A = this chain, B = another copy of it.
Amino acid sequence: MRDFPSPGFELGPNAYGKSGIRVVRVMRDAPRHDLRDLTVHTSLTGRFDAVHHRGDNTAVLPTDTQKNTVYAFAREGIGTPEAFAERLARHFVDTAGPVETARVRVEEQTWTRTGDHSFARGSGGEMRTAEVTYDGEAHVTAGIEHLLLLNTTGSEFNGFLTDAYTTLPETDDRVLATEVAAAWDYTATGDCDRDFARARAALTEAFADTYSLSLQQTLYAVGERILKAVPGAREVRLTMPNRHHHLFDLAPFGLDNPGLVFHAADRPYGLIEGTVRRERP
């Protein structure tokens, strides 16, 4: 077994961790139970040249240990996803010598109560996210993913650039639908759960009450509204795929179609990405 690196080559940025740790924490202190359903991902960076070059594992905290740590920390309680992610990230940096930065991402699936100890939800679906990167200081991002939003009217798309490949007709009334992913960098000034609830409400309300001339415009409006709802948020990054709803052509069958019957397409889809942030002074 030959040692690395060979002359002329070197190791660049690298990281390792455990992905997809499925932890469910039940709170059963009261007769009315509660639960947190989380999927956790850890990722560590630091001084890991020896393992890449020579397979020397002395600096490697195994990903299995990272997994164990998540379950052990869950024993003490989750708190908010943000707080849980931060506790874990701090732990890896503070206790494992070679680790310089730890990133912990928590995805939460929310259940609806159906009884004192009973809950329901659809499979898949909307998730809340929290991600903390700790490098001596904690950098917190909160967010939401897989939230579908749809307006049946109040959306136009006109006056766009045309060229030799343009066939799209203009429209002054279309269905606008998207699957939102949003993430905002922030400093929690109070309760993260309350901040999340405010951000989610701002998001859905802004989508519902913005008369849209383009999905980009809606994206910007949503971003500003989230920043206004969460004072500690500095910047929000939004991804809004355009889930096209094509008006189905019923003319061959002698039928009109005044905004009633749509084909919901899968692929291809427009993908709109943008950032809204507070102006830096």
- Bound Cα distance A10, B52 (Å): 43
Contact B161 A26 (CB under 8 A): no
8 interchain residue pairs of minimum CB distance: A124-B124, A55-B213, A122-B125, A12-B275, A115-B208, A118-B208, A20-B267, A122-B126
State A56–B60 Cα separation when bound (angstroms).
49
Question: Hey, what's the 0/1 contact readout for A205-237 against B, CB within 8 Å counting as 1?
Answer: 101110111101101110010011000000101
Q: Is the CB of A72 within 8 A of B216?
A: no
Give residues of chain A (242-281) contacting chain B, Cβ–Cβ below 8 Å: 242, 245, 248, 250, 252-253, 255, 257, 259-279
A18-39 to B contact mask, C-beta < 8 Å, 1/0: 1111111111100001010100
Chain B residue nearest to A267 in the complex (CB):
B20
* Chain A 50-71 near chain B by CB (<8 Å), digits 1 or 0: 0111111111111111011101
Is A14 an interface residue, CB under 8 A from the partner?
yes
Count A-side interface residues using an 8 Å CB cutoff: 142
Mark out the residues of chain A between 148 and 162 whose CB falls within 8 Å of any chain B CB in the assembled complex: 148-154, 157-162
With the chains together, A152 CA to B98 CA distance in Å?
31
Smallest Cβ-Cβ distance to A99: which chain B residue? B161
Bound complex: CA A64 to CA B1 (Å)? 42
Interchain CA distance A149-B20 in the complex, whole Å? 20
Contacts of A62 in B (CB 8 A): 157, 160-161, 166, 168
Which residues of chain B come closer than 8 Å to A219, judged between CB atoms?
Answer: 52
CB contact between A150 and one of B60, B118, B266 (< 8 Å): that residue: B118
Residue from B20, B60, B160, B252 in contact with A161 in the complex, judged by beta carbons closer than 8 Å? B60
Query: Is A194 part of the contact surface with B, judged by Cβ < 8 Å?
Result: no
Decide if B217 touches A33 in the complex (CB within 8 Å): no
**A16 on the interface (CB 8 Å rule)?**
yes
For A248, give the chain B residue with the smallest CB separation: B71
Q: A115's contact among B21, B157, B179, B209, by CB below 8 Å, is which?
A: B209
A139 within 8 A of B: no
How distant is the Cα of A148 from the Cα of B123 in the complex, in angstroms?
6
B120 touches A149 (CB 8 A): yes
Q: How far is the CA of A62 from the CA of B161 in the complex (A)?
A: 7
Interchain CA distance A7-B164 in the complex, whole Å: 39
Determine the chain B residues whose CB is within 8 A of the CB of A261 once the complex forms: 23-26, 71, 74-75
A99 to B177, CA, bound (A): 25
- Complex contacts, A274 vs chain B, CB 8 Å: 11-15, 52
Shortest CB-to-CB span from A263 to chain B, Å, is 6
Inter-chain contact A122/B147, CB cutoff 8 Å: yes
Q: CA–CA, A224 to B4, complex, Å?
A: 9
